[in-house]
């Protein structure tokens, strides 16, 4: 019985040790025996990437990015070879490839390369011979034959991109959680696995702190309309399907609550309200490679305003130093920084057609004496910055209020 | 001041940890600053290759050789990238390559591939830009872009082959000993570092148990007349130069004594003395991939003879089983195996023109009550199999008798 092609991606935790590699191999082989063609993308074993990065850091605190890619790409090459061996042990045919061998051509932006094109001849040739094709994720090669890596979440991107160019029937992302949840189950025990979620909601989830998948690969999946099945590498339960449109029996207003405790709030006080001032601030940050998350600026009083934004905690020092310089230039009075904050967000495409969602959120928080310090909204989400100590309570309150419990 | 090109090869112990990689980097840079062009070949860090092999063995006891190559080649790729970073730290320009990237094309015999050709364009281009070129040793790529490895001692081979095709002025092999010694200094404290040795002597040394370099790379060096400088990665002393001809002030008869404790002696008793019997035996071993070392057959009595040979200790069980089968077929009476033996050898091109060397050797052993169980000779060496417990004494006795002491 000949079925279609499935791309399966196993994350680092799913191939963290011998037993898990064997488990992953068994799963791949079980799909092969059902008649599917399989392309399997693997991440590096467990903490390999972090270990190699630490090793490099001890030799050179500013290693050349080209050499970092040369170094880090070995992690996925190792797991690809080991998984192939594991599959062969079950008597199935398998062959492993590096990103370069399989024809994943990227630009030359080492450590964060972008895929330019994928030559599928080699994969198709091996699939036609009945082989399971294992591809080292996270990597590619430039036209000049230099090895590149695709940046954080790169293996997901490899899987989604291969699913696209090979016209796969499904793209399965195996991870250490059973799917996407209405809230982090460690915080809200009543959290429920979401069966279907849209690309847009998932993108909001990712940017608001859910760590299931990186935005980049979801964007690519959305662009090419490739359904993604996020599921556990440790059992055979159905996980969460990420897709373009979700037909739900009952209309759901809020799909999930996320919490991000990894940000710092920066406020520039008494910024003169002149055209071009905000541009000046954020251009400076962009030039330094800083990603800014929420930005809030309110109406001004006496031709002055406060501008607040959040950045990753790791960037706090760098940003603070930069912004103090800018503040002086633009004659702002002061710069405040607050690491004691969390961002709690509600996300759902249903919001578009349901007025009053924001009001419900703010009321629920107020009733529980949780003060809101900053608010920002998009089409399908509302973010609130609150004190860190209230964060978990806020998640539980909102989860209940929006009826997300099991 | 522009000088010639040097190929330097750093073995696993010379890049075993961060400190040693930094030391190797410092050395490479010091040569660059003297005006040399440099191509540096690296082995995998310390025990990486053994660790990866063990990992593979746990997943599949008979891993596909293609996948083993995919796996093991990462070891050298890692050290190449790290060494490049180490060199860059000193402010010198460096770039690392895999064997495949640098154009080392091999046949398809995975795990023991042979180099077919080396495309030097890429290396030359980078050298012309003033860069130090780091090449991952031990590996190549097939015309079909599959990664291959060159087998034991493969990194030495990479270095020698690159020295040849790049027309290098010197090929330096950095290792954990200071050169080739007249005997193992752990056994004979009076052992002396040999300044110059011929390819042929070195080949005999390697086959007789000295572990400084593998035969294969010495053979290639001999074929293309590439002088090799074997030296320590831990100091700047001159080591041993391996070359075609050695002009010595005084004629040296014996250059070195080696000891090999890693062999088993197998004897097939009462073999019918018919043409084709020996062929039958050794064909069977060859077919099983067993390397046989010494073979001794003496004159026959009553149309029967004994055939003895030595094999690597690790192969004992396999050989023993095979040979018992053959013995039955050829109607030999018995098979004996003796693991309690050692091979002591004296090696020197001077023997050719000095009669009586063998007699001197046998007399020295006899005077010290060391019984000889097997004797075999070549043009420039004499091997004796003796009891293991006499082995170290034999080395010291012969070292003294042939005047090799400091």
Instruction: Please spell the DSSP secondary structure of B94-158, one letter per residue.
Output: EEEE-TTTTTEEE-S-TTS--EEEE--HHHHHHHHTTPEEEEETTEEE-TT--EEE--TTHHHHH
Based on the structure, what is the number of domains in chain A? 1
Q: Give the separation between CA B149 and CA B108, rounded to whole angstroms.
A: 10
A227 touches chain B (CB under 8 A): no
Residue B205 belongs to some domain of the structure:
no
> CB–CB of B81 and A96 under 8 A?
no
CB proximity under 8 Å: A 143-182 to B: 145-147
pLDDT of residue B263: 92
**In this model, does residue B100 exceed pLDDT 70?**
yes
pLDDT of residue A249: 59
CATH number at residue A150: 3.40.1160.10
pLDDT tens, position by position, A342-358: 999 999 988 887 878 89
The helix (H) or strand (E) run that includes residue A173 is strand A170-175
Q: How far is A67 from chain B (nearest CA, A)?
A: 5
**In this model, does residue B1 exceed pLDDT 60?**
no
Residue B261 belongs to some domain of the structure:
no
pLDDT of residue B210: 75
Q: What is the DSSP string of A6-27?
A: EEEEE-GGGGSSHHHHHHHHHH
Residue B239 belongs to some domain of the structure:
no
**In this model, does residue A1 exceed pLDDT 60?**
no
pLDDT of residue A2: 61
pLDDT of residue A196: 93
Residue B124 belongs to some domain of the structure:
yes
Range with lowest mean pLDDT among A74-78, A274-278, B169-173: A274-278
pLDDT of residue A250: 61
More confident: A39 or A281: A39
Q: What is the mean pLDDT of residues A182-193?
A: 93
A31: confidence class by pLDDT, cuts 50, 70, 90: very high
Q: What is the mean pLDDT of residues A39-61?
A: 95
**In this model, does residue B250 exceed pLDDT 70?**
no
Residue A33 belongs to some domain of the structure:
yes
ipTM of the complex: 0.84
B245: confidence class by pLDDT, cuts 50, 70, 90: confident
Q: Tokens standing for A257? A: 């609550």
CB proximity under 8 Å: A 69-88 to B: 70-71, 73-74, 77-78, 80-82, 84-86, 88
More confident: B206 or B61: B61
Sign of CA dihedral B366, B371, B377, B380: negative
**In this model, does residue B247 exceed pLDDT 80?**
no
B38 touches chain A (CB under 8 A): no
Residue A326 belongs to some domain of the structure:
no
Q: Find, in chain A, the residue whose alpha carbon is nearest to that of B143.
A: A101
pLDDT of residue A225: 94
**Mean pLDDT, chain B, whole residue set:** 92
Q: Tokens standing for B356? A: 């009586």
B366 touches chain A (CB under 8 A): no
Report the residue from B22, B59, B85 with minimal CB separation from A89: B59
Best of A70, A119, A138, A149 to mutate (most B CBs within 10 Å, chain B):
A70
Q: Give the separation between CA B283 and CA A22, rounded to whole angstroms.
A: 39
Q: How far is A21 from chain B (nearest CA, A)?
A: 8
Give the pTM.
0.86
Residue B222 belongs to some domain of the structure:
no
**In this model, does residue B139 exceed pLDDT 60?**
yes
**Mean pLDDT, chain A, whole residue set:** 92
Q: Tokens standing for A384? A: 């609130």
Residue A38 domain boundaries: 5-176
pLDDT tens, position by position, A294-323: 888 877 777 888 889 999 998 999 999 999
CA angle B98, B99, B100 (to 5 degrees): 90
Which 3 state secondary structure label does DSSP give A38? strand
pLDDT-above-70 percentage for chain A: 99
Q: A305-309 contacts: CB < 8 A, separation 24 or more?
A: A305/A270, A305/A271, A305/A273, A306/A267, A306/A268, A306/A269, A306/A270, A306/A271, A307/A267, A307/A268, A307/A271, A307/A278, A307/A281, A308/A265, A308/A266, A308/A267, A308/A268, A308/A374, A309/A265, A309/A266, A309/A282
Residue B155 belongs to some domain of the structure:
yes
- How far, CA to CA in Å, does B92 sit from each of A396, B25, B87, B109, B173? 56, 10, 6, 37, 22
Chain A positions in Cβ-Cβ contact with residue B70 (cut-off 8 Å) = 77, 80-81, 84, 96, 98
**In this model, does residue A122 exceed pLDDT 60?**
yes
| Residue A166 per-residue DSSP state | T
Which 3 state secondary structure label does DSSP give B397? helix
Q: How many CB pairs under 8 A join A and B?
A: 101
Q: What is the mean pLDDT of residues B339-347?
A: 94
């Amino acid at each position: 019985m000949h079925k279609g092609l499935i791309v399966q991606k196993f994350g680092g935790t799913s191939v963290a040790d011998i037993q898990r590699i064997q488990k992953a191999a068994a799963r791949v082989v079980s799909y092969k025996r059902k008649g599917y063609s399989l392309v399997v993308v693997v991440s590096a074993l467990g903490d390999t990437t972090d270990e190699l990065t630490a090793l490099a850091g001890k030799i050179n605190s500013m290693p050349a990015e080209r050499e970092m890619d040369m170094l880090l790409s070995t992690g996925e090459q190792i797991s690809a070879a080991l998984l192939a061996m594991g599959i062969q042990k079950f008597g199935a045919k398998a062959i492993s490839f590096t990103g370069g061998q399989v024809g994943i051509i990227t630009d030359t932006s080492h450590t964060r390369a972008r895929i330019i094109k994928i030559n599928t001849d080699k994969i198709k040739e091996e699939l036609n011979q009945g082989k399971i094709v294992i591809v080292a994720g996270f990597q590619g090669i430039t036209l000049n034959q230099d090895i590149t890596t695709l940046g954080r979440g790169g293996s997901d991107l490899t899987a989604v991109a291969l699913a696209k160019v090979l016209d796969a029937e499904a793209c399965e992302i195996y991870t250490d959680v059973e799917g996407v949840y209405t809230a982090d189950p460690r915080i809200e025990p009543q959290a429920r696995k979401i069966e279907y979620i849209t690309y847009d909601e998932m993108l909001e989830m990712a940017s608001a702190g859910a760590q299931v998948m990186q935005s980049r690969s979801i964007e690519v999946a959305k662009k090419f309309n490739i359904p993604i099945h996020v599921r556990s590498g440790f059992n055979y339960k159905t996980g969460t399907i990420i897709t373009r449109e979700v037909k739900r029996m009952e209309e759901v207003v809020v799909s999930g609550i996320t919490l991000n405790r990894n940000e710092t709030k920066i406020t520039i006080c008494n910024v003169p309200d002149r055209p071009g001032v905000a541009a000046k601030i954020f251009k400076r940050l962009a030039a330094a490679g800083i990603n800014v998350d929420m930005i809030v600026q309110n109406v001004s009083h006496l031709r002055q305003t406060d501008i607040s934004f959040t950045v990753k905690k790791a960037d706090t020092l760098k940003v603070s130093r930069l912004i103090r310089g800018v503040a002086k230039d633009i004659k702002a009075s002061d710069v405040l920084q607050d690491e004691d904050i969390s961002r709690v967000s509600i996300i759902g495409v249903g919001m578009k057609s349901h007025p009053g969602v924001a009001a419900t959120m703010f009321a629920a928080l107020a009733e529980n004496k949780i003060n809101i310090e900053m608010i920002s909204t998009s089409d399908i989400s509302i973010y609130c910055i609150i004190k860190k100590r209230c964060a978990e309570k806020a998640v539980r309150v909102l989860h209940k209020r929006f009826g997300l419990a099991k």
